[in-house]
Amino acid sequence: MDPTENPRWRRVAMVRRSLMALLVFGQTAVAGYYLLWILPYHGNTPLELGLLSLFAILYAWIAVGFWTAVWGFVIRLTGGDRHSRLKRHSDDELEATPLKKTAVILPIYHEPVRWTLDGLKAVYRDIADQGELDSFEFYILSDSRNPDVWLEEQVAWSDLIRELGAEGRIFYRRRPVNLNFKSGNVADFLRRWGRRHKYMIVLDADSLLSGRTLVRMVRLMEREPRIGILQTNPNVINGQSLFARIQQFANRFYSPLFATGLAAIQMGDAAFWGHNAILRIEPFMKHCGLRKLPGRGLFGGPIMSHDFVEAAYMARAGYEVWLEPNLGESYEESPPTLGDELARDNRWAKGNLQHLWIMLREPGIRFAHRMAFLNGIMAYLASPLWLAFLILTSIEAAQMTLAPIDYFPEGYQGLFPLWPEWRPEWALGLALSTLMLLFLPKFLAIFDSMIHRTTTSFGGLPRLLISVFVEIAVSVLLAPIRMLAHSRFVIAALLNLTLKWAGQNRTDEMTWSNGLRSQLPAMAVGASWAGFAWTLDPLFFFWSLPVAVPLILSAPTSVLLSRQALGIGLLNRGILMIPEERRPMSLLTRARGYRSEERPETVLTPFQQAVLVPGINQIHQALGRDAFNAVRQARLHRIRDRCVEQGPGALTDSEVAQIARDKATLKELHRMAWRAPKDSYWGRSIQLLTSTAANRKV
Q: Is 4 exposed, middle or buried (0-12, 13-18, 19+ CB in 10 A)?
A: exposed
Residue 112 banded pLDDT, cuts 50, 70, 90: very high
The yes-or-no verdict on residue 67 having pLDDT over 80 is: yes
Q: What percent of the chain lies above the pLDDT cut of 70?
A: 93
Instruction: Give the pLDDT score at 632.
Output: 86
Please give the angle made by the CA atoms of 89, 324 and 108, to the nearest 5 degrees. Answer: 125
Contact of 184 with 288, CB cutoff 8 Å:
no
> Has residue 354 got a pLDDT over 80?
yes
Residue 143 has pLDDT above 50, yes or no: yes
Are 594 and 118 in contact by the 8 Å Cβ rule? The answer is yes
Among candidate residues 686, 690, 651, 650, the one with its CA nearest the CA of residue 671: 686
Question: At residue 400, does pLDDT exceed 90?
Answer: no
The amino acid occupying position 402 is L
pLDDT at 694 over 60: no
SS3 of 491, please?
Answer: helix
Task: Kindly report which listed range (18-27, 494-503, 515-524, 566-575) carries the lowest average pLDDT score.
Answer: 494-503
Q: pTM for this structure?
A: 0.91
What secondary structure letter does DSSP report for 532?
H
Question: What pLDDT is attached to residue 698?
Answer: 40
Return the amino acid letter for 349.
A
Mean pLDDT value of segment 93-121: 95
- Of all residues in the chain, the percent with pLDDT exceeding 90 is 73
pLDDT reported for residue 423: 58
Quickly list H helices, 228-337. Answer: 242-266, 281-287, 307-316
pLDDT of 128 reads: 96
In Å, how far are 608, 621, 633, 674 from 658, measured between CA atoms? Answer: 15, 12, 11, 20
Is 697 a residue whose pLDDT tops 60? no
Per-residue pLDDT at 482 exceeds 60? yes
What average pLDDT does range 251-261 have in this prediction? 96
Q: What is the pLDDT of residue 425?
A: 62
What average pLDDT does the segment 386-399 reach? 86
Residue 398 confidence (pLDDT):
77
Determine whether 493 is exposed, middle or buried from the number of CB atoms within 10 Å of its CB (0-12, 13-18, 19+). Answer: buried
**Is residue 458 scored above 70 in pLDDT?**
yes
CA distances from 661 to 328, 590, 667 (A): 41, 34, 11
Question: CA 442 to CA 479: how far, in whole Å?
Answer: 16
Q: Tell me: pLDDT of 410 over 70.
A: no
Average of pLDDT values for 641-664? 92
* pLDDT given at position 35: 87
Enumerate the H helices of 403-511 as residue ranges. 424-451, 461-494
Q: What is the pLDDT, as a whole number, of residue 178? A: 83
Q: Which residues pair with 173 in a beta bridge?
A: 141
User: Kind of pairing, strands 235-237 and 227-231?
Assistant: unpaired
Please name every residue paired with 293 in a beta bridge, in sequence order, or none if there are none: 301
pLDDT at 5 over 90: no
Indicate the average pLDDT of the chain. Answer: 90
Answer whether residue 315 shows pLDDT above 60. yes
Q: Is residue 172 scored above 70 in pLDDT?
A: yes
